[in-house]
Structure 1
């Protein structure tokens, strides 16, 4: 299974960076449309390469896992998934912290299940749960058959 890129323009880190750069969305926490388009373009090329693998490796099964669509849907329709916050992370300020920047010494939100992102780039367990459900329905039947 090969996962594509998420809607990188909706990652809290890039939402933060884009909000402080002079633009039409200056000081606004919104997804960056161009960065999301870049993710889509990359994902299309990746799918094309996976298709080439299928042609060259007849006995191999390589499934493409679209994480872009479900993460974008979670970001745009938080109520559908039980989220209250989708453009900031649960850890620290939720704006810039990544990985080791989120540790037991940092403050965290009161209920991580209400957040799509744990830190400024990684989904929470709830976010990953929805992604896993999606993979179970879309990719695993193909690679397991």
Structure 2
């Protein structure tokens, strides 16, 4: 009688384990957005530049001042950045790690990573000038990630994750600010005027998006180039003695955006089952900058770090000093928004992303 009860209990345990395995697999298949991936520049770089030789770094104080534990992780802000905030809003995970994070765990691969590199652009020359990871090299890392993911979850679930996940693509700012309009971009200006260079940016963006699609991505949110002429550093460099918005920079950004929007429409028609969304951040951010009081900000033309007019990356450091109340600032340093700035901007754009892609 006792032996019979023993085998009965063993059978029950095996049945429970089988049901658990089946339920876990079904849970993955029922997840709307299982993971989030990011490609591009410093807006979505979660710390990849920590692992390479470049001046475009921020893995030191005061960066990360308001991050969990007050740690400088390589995110170009005082706190969380768009990949973290979007993943949190979608219920995917609280933080999206950098792919090159030495502490990356196998389970992190299931919910997504960032391949982005601060200073990168759609134009490969932009990444070369900053000695950072180009968009094409980010794709190579993504291919490596796919191989790793399949080893962790199996091919079937890996393919499901790749197809159903959300992909953020954020680039273009550095092509204009740190290449074309910069002192180091004189060779670019010799070969291109604004119309032809914006054609190059959009053609490179299109090639990247098609390659990403070929690797299994279907839900892709491409953020527009922001009003780059109104960020603090570009006001200082191109806005005259009064540090007004550099209108020629903004006009170039608007031209990129108009061409990029048309190209994305064309890609959606040509690529079966693609859902590529052009996401306008130019106009929402410009409105925040022009009407800061409407959003609870006081300072719209300088960052919280140092003077806020030029300090960014290695020039925003422990000797720079920071503002006492970061919530009053749209920008953290002279180029990147604060966590609050990102949250306010995403409040105006995330619904469109969710309604269109989720």
**TM-score surpassing 0.5?**
yes
Give unmatched runs, 5+ long, in structure 1. 20-25
TM-score (norm 2): 0.37
Runs of 4+ aligned residues of structure 1 deviating over 4 Å after TM superposition are: none
The structural deviation recorded for 1:104 is: 3.7
Deviations 1:34-71 (A, max 9, x none): 21111111101111111111011120111111110111
The structural deviation recorded for 1:76 is: 0.3
Query: Aligned pairs, how many?
Result: 138
1:116 partner SS: strand
1:100 and 1:60 map into 2 onto residues whose CA distance is: 39
1:50 partner SS: helix
User: What's the counterpart of residue 17 of structure 1?
Assistant: 237
2:318 and 2:242 map into 1 onto residues whose CA distance is: 30
Higher alpha-carbon Rg: 2
Which of 233, 255, 259 lines up with 1:45 in the alignment?
259
Q: Bigger relative contact order, structure 1 or 2, given CA contacts below 8 A and separation 6+?
A: 1
User: What's the counterpart of residue 74 of structure 1?
Assistant: 288
Answering whether residue 217 of structure 2 is matched by residue 3 of structure 1, we say: no
2:237 and 2:299 map into 1 onto residues whose CA distance is: 18
Answering whether residue 341 of structure 2 is matched by residue 127 of structure 1, we say: yes
Contact 1:15 1:32 in 2 (8 A): yes
1:120 and 1:73 map into 2 onto residues whose CA distance is: 18
2:314 and 2:306 map into 1 onto residues whose CA distance is: 11
User: What's the counterpart of residue 268 of structure 2?
Assistant: 54
1:94 partner SS: coil
Give unmatched runs, 5+ long, in structure 2. 1-220
User: What's the counterpart of residue 64 of structure 1?
Assistant: 278
RMSD: 1.3
The structural deviation recorded for 1:93 is: 1.2
The structural deviation recorded for 1:135 is: 2.3
2:284 partner SS: helix
